[in-house]
Chain A
Amino acid sequence: MAQFSILITSAPHINDKGLSAFRFAQTVLNSEHQLQGIFFYQDGVHHANALQINPSSGFDLYQGWTNLALTHQCPLMVCVTAATKRGVLSANDAADHDKTAVNLSAPFEALGLGELAVLLSQSDRLVQF
């Protein structure tokens, strides 16, 4: 049995990496292995934007991440610096910067890269998408 972590650095919608990451996460969670957490960095933070409207014909990846996190208690960690730079704001960050809108909420969490260091120290395998 191995401990996995996933790092997502690519934006949703521009290619299939997000979906690949999701299917990989599902596969790990349904195997004898464990998934320590999923960390979103660089353009990957757009996955955490709660204001994405999914066209009804396609798979709703945002909802997918949310369900996966709630079903498996798998943390969805978002780099706060990368996210705020791209306008993906938790309630705390919106207040800190005098912004009126909030579009990052649970189960996604805005955190520092230091949290990823902790995650990696507990993981045997990191897979980047």
Chain B
Amino acid sequence: MTQRHITIIAQQGPYANSAGQDALDFAMAMANFGQHVNLVFMHDGVFQLLANQHAESIFRKDFTKCFAALTYYDIEPIYVCQRSLAARNVSPNDLIVGVETLDEVGMQALFKTPQHLVTF
């Protein structure tokens, strides 16, 4: 099977809908079947990466705990858009570990490789 680069953009907050969980399932399934996956968080998607979430208190499963397992799917690092963080006054220090912050040059570089792009 030809390995393709698949870049998945998560751009919505974690709990208003199931987009975050769907993006994660999508990423793991593609990686499990041998594809090269980049996972990028931008816009409100950056809120998915906040450390120490307590989703159970609003009757939701904390799917964000699973980000730490993505290394076993060779999905690493997880990328986050610096500009989206700054616009929301979120510091990289507030995020889970294993996240690489990308400035505009970094973001552009990421999209230079030919790839499939999927947005959630």
Contact = CB atoms under 8 A, between A and B. Distances in A.
Interface residues of B, number: 21
Contact of B117 (A81, A113, A123, A126): A126
Interface string A96-129: 0000000000000000111011101111011010
A42 B22 contact: yes
Given A113-B25, A113-B26, A117-B30, A122 B2 contact: yes
A125 B115 CA distance: 8
A42 B2 CA distance: 25
Contacts of A114: 29, 32-33
A40 to B, nearest CB: 13
A128 B7 CA distance: 13
Interface in A75-93: 81-82
Interface in A34-79: 41-42
B116 A41 contact: no
Interface residues of A, number: 19
Contacts of B29: 112-114, 116-117
A24 to B, nearest CB: 16
B98 interface: no
Contacts of A19: none
Interface in A10-39: none
Contacts of A112: 29
Given A41-B22, A81-B25, A113-B25, A118 B33 contact: yes
11 contacts: A41-B22, A41-B26, A42-B18, A42-B120, A81-B25, A113-B26, A113-B29, A114-B29, A125-B116, A126-B116, A126-B118
Interface of A: 7, 9, 41-42, 81-82, 112-114, 116-118, 120-123, 125-126, 128
Q: Which 9 A-B pairs have CB atoms at the shortest separation, nearest pair first? A: A117-B33, A113-B29, A126-B116, A121-B2, A121-B1, A114-B33, A117-B30, A117-B35, A42-B22
